[in-house]
Amino acid sequence: MNQRWRTLALWLLPIGVVLLIGWQVASNGGINGLSQDSNGTTVAPRNAAVARMSYGRFLDYVEAGRVTAVDIYDGGRNAVVEAVDPDLDNRVQRLRVDLPGLAPELINTLKTEGISFDIHPPRSAPPALGVLGNLLFPLLLIGALIFLARRNSNMPGGPGQAMQFGKSKARFMMEAETGVMFDDVAGVTEAKQELQEVVTFLKQPERFTSVGAQIPRGLLLVGPPGTGKTLLAKAIAGEAGVPFFSLSGSEFVEMFVGVGASRVRDLFKKAKENSPCLIFIDEIDAVGRQRGAGIGGGNDEREQTLNQLLTEMDGFEGNSGIIIIAATNRPDVLDSALMRPGRFDRQVTVDAPDIKGRLAILDVHCRNKKLQEELSLESIARRTPGFTGADLANLMNEAAILTARRRKDAIGLSEIDDAVDRIIAGMEGRPLTDGRSKRLIAYHEVGHALIGTLVKAHDPVQKVTLVPRGQAQGLTWFSPDEEQTLVTRAQLKARIMGALGGRAAEDVVFGHQEVTTGAGGDIQQVASMARNMVTRLGMSDLGPVALEGGNQEVFLGRDLMSRSEVSESISQQIDVQVRNMVKRCYDETVEIVAANREAMDRLVELLIEKETMDGDEFKAVVAEFTAVPDKDRTVVTLD
């Protein structure tokens, strides 16, 4: 910025000097400048006037014969008059007069009265100064344009970048110093093994080519958000020690036609010049969506970019030594030509980690954090099923923030629990005051927890609380004892009964007319689970038949206009099966709640008093009133 201001000053300084000199020269010809006598000699004018006289009074003085001499300047606009003032003992006084112009009548009057007068012509400025004056505005305009052009030359899309639209925006590193190695990536052991081979391909290609193996052209990392796809790509770049190009799929596409394809060509041109190398494209679904999507809005520019990418990956010219790594969480919308062998030869699934993976991830994220000695990472791993690597990193960060807020020296179990609750349910709200509303919410939450405790196939209760979080006024948490990759029919029905426990408790305690809207979310969850059991899992009287497609998001142009997969009669039977299943579960839930009313009342009193009860305490109170089912037998018959 300082250089730009110096450049502008260098433009304006000469112009200012020229104008100043011209002004001084021009001012010399005025009433206060120099004049020349009749012989051409420069003399000081008689213009030391200190007072002014009006033009009318000047004429009166001329008629009265009091004016002795007149010097006329500026083409007749000004004059200096020598006049005799009777009020000053007839002393001669020099006065300045503003004339209306060099009128012939005034000259004749002066001649008639015999008054000595002299006309001083104005000094004309040099011709060069007039030319400079005419060129002043154009010079200033040209200087401003040059200044703006130089200022914007390095800005994206500026005048200096007009020819750079087709150039690739990939970040290039000759040796990627990402600071991430495979040892820093935990919880995705299978994916690491696949990607370690890529590093070996780049470092020791002869190990594979000697037996006829070909280096894969592309790897597609597929998985939910936050599972570590980009982190794995950084680890590959850090381990391989080869040139590394990284960019996002959205950086290919611009509003100008042909720019995306040009950037693809430029990217691969640079990659061939630096092979062997790695190219990482994050969120490739931004440019690799299915072509010809019809109503979904096929974008010609994006399709041209995708066509160029397909050609570069496996076209007429080979790309030996170039490995492309792409990441996406929407593989279902990618074009089939992009997924065929020869382009993305391998698909590496990066899924949410199991308990061992979460334990390894927590070990990585706890390296720089102070933990209490009694805090076990295994307990945190069991507390967080379904958490991804990003979720666990956020969990430990939230726990550290809570520890600092509470002025503690190390992270404890209470901070971990509060951080988990905050991430899952939202920020803690203001506690409810005692009253009918609080009691109703307590019965609702105890109903959920009571069914979760008495139905054997249900996940055990972890905590029941009346502390509001997010939009919920009360919450009940359940946590599985082990990782559940497969879910049985009994477990699904137990979950339906657990979700209906809150409404059943309201129905039993307050009556059918007093049920509230608090079970709205539970009922939506129940309807979804029951319909999946009937239509997709084959767990109904209709038999093991899939009556609906997979649980995929609608892709416009492919799914919006698709025909129904079942007839009207089957649709009616599906509705009947769903209603019957939910009704049977609700009736049995009401029976369990009614049979354990005494235990429920006691639990509600304790919950209102403490506001939060953990799973072990809740189960101990239930055991005082009824027999808690053993793990090896079923208490409730659901069919």
Say whether the peptide bond before residue 276 is cis (omega within 30 degrees of 0). Answer: yes
Q: Nearest 5 degrees, angle CA 370-CA 373-CA 375? A: 85
Q: Which of 301, 415, 445, 588 is catalytic?
A: 445
CA atoms in the 13 A half-sphere facing the CB of 67? 28
Phi/psi at 446 (5° precision): -65, -35
Both tokens of 233, joined, read: 């790509």
For residue 98, give the 3-state DSSP assignment: strand
Phi-psi region of 212 (alpha: psi -120 to 50; beta: other; left: phi over 0): left
Give CB contacts under 8 A, 24+ apart, made by 575-579: 577/534, 577/540, 577/541, 577/542, 578/527, 578/530, 578/531, 578/534
Please spell the DSSP secondary structure of 539-568, one letter per residue: -STT-S---S--S----TTTTTTPPPSS-H
Number of Cβ within a 10 Å radius of residue 51: 8
Clarify whether 483 is annotated catalytic. Answer: no
Closest of 238, 239, 237, 309 to residue 280, by C-alpha: 237
Residue given tokens 């919450």 in the structure block: 475
* 237 and 277 Cβ atoms separated by less than 8 Å: no
Q: Nearest 5 degrees, angle CA 295-CA 301-CA 303? A: 65
Question: H helices of 457-567, where?
Answer: 489-510, 520-535
Residue given tokens 């979460």 in the structure block: 358
Order of strands, sheet of 461-465, starting from the edge strand that comes earlier in the sequence: 475-478, 461-465, 612-614
Q: Which residues are catalytic?
A: 445
